């Protein structure tokens, strides 16, 4: 028998469709503000973006939750908005608020920024990948990522996070050709970026479509599924065995269509999806990842144990990676993460 199967991490085995008695676990935003050791390095770096672009510190921050909790996978510490920055858009973060970019909401502004990603901007992130890869324990998988074109475009067009993605929706309604041009640039840049991450050592990649849930079915096909499928195909041309996780957050009943049309190996599920539907209509197609509510983790108590059991009862019989339904909240007590791990691994 080949040893290849045995050598692979629990996480990669689950992504390949294997059912494991104890599911592998990692958490979105597992390297972040709820950890004192993160806050310390973040202060040392001066700003969030300086941390993202400092390979020594970013590698250290990626490894912190692995050392403390022994998660089954590490996720590269960076941000989805480094891609617009590589495309020539100015990016900064306002303390306590979030990202800001110079909006690209008309043809003139799009003409002013580069058509192609500047590899020099992303080079420090790729160096972070090499450093993490060299330092990770063998049994720990390593996840790279990018934002999905729709979600990245919402920030590029509005210049910030928006409650309803209104500016991006206005633009695709008013000037679909211009919006398509923005999406196309993100697709090409993202394929190159994920290719570089996989070449430098990540084992799998996740495509974060945080705002997928705000698109109706037709717009979902055009602006979420079609560009994601191009990224999956582009990545697989260069890395035929690449494991790809899609996270069309909030897409609910559209997820089976997303899975079939994009060809992802696994899909991340939001917390409020109907778990019976997800098991019967999604997990029957691919591995699922999720979906504990980050609010339940923050609250702790008996409800946390009950919900962990409910997630396990829904998805434990098929290929499954335990995760949250969205990123961990910054004010989550560390003791709750320890209890989560104990409950999942019991």
Q: Could you give the residue numbers annotated as active site?
A: 29, 33, 42, 79, 155
- Which residues are paired to 290 by β-bridges? 322
308-314 long-range contacts (CB < 8 A, ≥24 apart) are: 308/340, 308/343, 308/344, 309/343, 310/275, 311/275, 312/23, 312/344, 314/275, 314/276, 314/278, 314/279
Is 142 a binding residue for ligand CP3 by CB under 6 A? The answer is no
Is 267 a binding residue for ligand CP3 by CB under 6 A? The answer is no
* Residue among 256 and 325 whose Cβ is closer to ligand CP3: 325
* Residue among 159 and 279 whose Cβ is closer to ligand CP3: 159
Region binding ligand CP3 by CB under 6 A among candidate stretches 31-39, 188-196, 256-264, 286-294: 31-39
Region binding ligand CP3 by CB under 6 A among candidate stretches 78-86, 196-204, 315-323, 336-344: 78-86
* Residue among 254 and 279 whose Cβ is closer to ligand CP3: 254
Is 243 a binding residue for ligand CP3 by CB under 6 A? The answer is no
CB of 38 to ligand CP3, least distance (A): 7
Helices (H), the chain: 4-7, 10-15, 36-45, 48-52, 55-69, 82-86, 107-112, 119-135, 149-158, 166-174, 176-200, 217-219, 226-238, 255-262, 275-277, 294-299, 301-315, 334-345
Give the whole-angstrom CA distance, residue 132 versus residue 141: 11
> What backbone phi and psi angles, to 5 degrees, belong to 136?
-75, 145
Is 30 a binding residue for ligand CP3 by CB under 6 A? The answer is yes
CB of 187 to ligand CP3, least distance (A): 17
Residue with tokens 């699922």: 288
Is 77 a binding residue for ligand CP3 by CB under 6 A? The answer is yes
Near ligand CP3 by CB under 6 A: residue from 70, 98, 111, 176: 98
Is 69 a binding residue for ligand CP3 by CB under 6 A? The answer is no
DSSP conformational letter for 28: T
Give the whole-angstrom CA distance, residue 52 versus residue 333: 24
Give the whole-angstrom CA distance, residue 100 versus residue 226: 27
Near ligand CP3 by CB under 6 A: residue from 79, 127, 175, 281: 79
* Residue among 79 and 221 whose Cβ is closer to ligand CP3: 79
> Can you tell me whether residue 57 is helix, strand or coil?
helix
Interactions with ligand CP3, residue window 172-231 (CB under 6 A): 208, 210
Is 301 a binding residue for ligand CP3 by CB under 6 A? The answer is no
CB of 345 to ligand CP3, least distance (A): 20
CB of 86 to ligand CP3, least distance (A): 15
What DSSP line would sit under 68-126, residue for residue? HH--SEEE----TTHHHHHTT--EEEETTTEEEE----SHHHHHHS-SS--HHHHHHHH
Is 131 a binding residue for ligand CP3 by CB under 6 A? The answer is no
Per rule CB under 6 A, count of chain residues that contact ligand CP3: 22
Interactions with ligand CP3, residue window 313-332 (CB under 6 A): 327
> What does the block give as tokens for 145?
């990522």
Is 75 a binding residue for ligand CP3 by CB under 6 A? The answer is yes
Region binding ligand CP3 by CB under 6 A among candidate stretches 2-10, 72-80, 235-243, 290-298: 72-80
Is 298 a binding residue for ligand CP3 by CB under 6 A? The answer is no
Rg (C-alpha) for the chain, rounded Å, is 19
* Residue among 49 and 279 whose Cβ is closer to ligand CP3: 49
Closest residue to ligand CP3 in the complex (CB): 210
> Can you tell me whether residue 216 is helix, strand or coil?
coil
| Contacting residues toward ligand CP3, per CB under 6 A | 28-33, 42, 48, 75, 77-81, 98-99, 145, 147, 161, 208, 210, 327
């Amino acid at each position: 028998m080949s040893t290849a199967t045995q050598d692979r991490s629990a996480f990669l085995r689950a992504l390949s469709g294997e059912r494991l008695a104890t599911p592998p676990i990692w958490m979105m935003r597992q390297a972040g503000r709820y950890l004192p050791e993160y806050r310390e390095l973040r202060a040392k770096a001066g700003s969030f973006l300086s941390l993202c672009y400092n390979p020594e510190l970013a590698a250290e921050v990626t490894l912190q939750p692995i050392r403390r909790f022994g998660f089954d996978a590490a996720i590269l510490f960076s941000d989805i908005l480094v891609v617009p920055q590589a495309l020539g858009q100015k990016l900064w973060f306002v303390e306590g608020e979030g990202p800001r970019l110079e909006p690209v909401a008309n043809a003139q502004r799009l003409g002013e920024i580069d058509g192609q990603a500047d590899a020099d901007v992303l080079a420090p992130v790729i160096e972070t990948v090499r450093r993490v890869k060299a330092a990770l324990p063998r049994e720990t998988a390593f996840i790279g990522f990018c934002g999905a074109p729709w979600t990245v475009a919402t920030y590029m067009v509005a210049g910030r996070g928006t409650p309803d993605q209104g500016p991006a929706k206005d633009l695709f309604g008013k000037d679909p050709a211009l919006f398509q041009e923005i999406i196309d640039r993100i697709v090409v840049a993202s394929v190159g970026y994920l290719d570089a991450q996989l070449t430098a050592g990540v084992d799998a990649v996740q495509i974060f479509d945080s705002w997928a849930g705000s698109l109706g079915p037709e717009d979902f096909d055009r602006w979420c599924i079609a560009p994601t499928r191009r990224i999956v195909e582009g990545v697989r041309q260069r890395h035929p065995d690449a494991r790809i996780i899609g996270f069309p957050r909030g897409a609910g009943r559209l997820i089976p269509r997303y899975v079939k049309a994009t060809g992802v190996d696994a899909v991340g599920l939001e917390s409020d999806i109907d778990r019976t539907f997800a098991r019967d209509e999604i997990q029957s197609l691919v591995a699922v990842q999720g979906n504990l509510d980050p609010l339940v983790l923050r609250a702790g108590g008996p409800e946390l144990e009950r919900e962990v059991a409910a997630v396990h009862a829904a998805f434990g019989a098929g290929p499954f990676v335990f995760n949250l339904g969205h990123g961990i909240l910054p004010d989550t007590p560390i003791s709750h993460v320890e209890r989560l791990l104990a409950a999942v691994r019991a």
